[in-house]
Structure 1
């Protein structure tokens, strides 16, 4: 009985297709994504700063809102920087390991966000 040959091909990277075909449109998309990302960072940072600095907001719901802002900041940071880099680079690729890490953190932060939203809903349910 012969030995079966196994396929040991390993994928090292994924090539990402361009969102738009022209350099000008990619530059415009870069500016739009950067503006939205910067707004997300500033907005969520302000919410976290406000919740932690104002003593009147030291209630469970505002504690959860501050944490939700932190998780939203993490959620945006998982993918947006890579998109921004790829919009400006000629070679648009991501290594297999980086892709798996990004996928892991995307799911981890997404699950954390759903957990926080569930706790917030329960807190509202209990207070009424």
Structure 2
């Protein structure tokens, strides 16, 4: 049968010859895969935060140094400050008593304190002899 003798319209035959294979459909993409990926990410992050150590406590021995120092206090002996006689913001003069140091405490650095005390006693004895 030729095209003129066909029972189908000319544009229908043209469409049949030039059309793509398979059906096509217009649809909105599903949100389900996106929601699943986001929920899996949140789950992994939650597990990492809850089950891993992201901080650790370690013992430390030393001094805290501030730079620049606001004020410097020098004591003759090592020990623990037992009484502070000034308040923050008070004006003090050179030689004024601002704190009392309690040095009868046994601690790791006490060996230096004992040596300083022995040297001071030796100096006092030598000064008394002269």
The bucket for the TM-score relative to the shorter chain is: under 0.3
The structure whose Rg is larger is 2
TM-score in terms of structure 1 length: 0.24
TM-score in terms of structure 2 length: 0.23
Tell me which protein shows more helix as a share of its residues: 1
Q: Which has the higher contact order (CA 8 A, sep 6+)?
A: 1
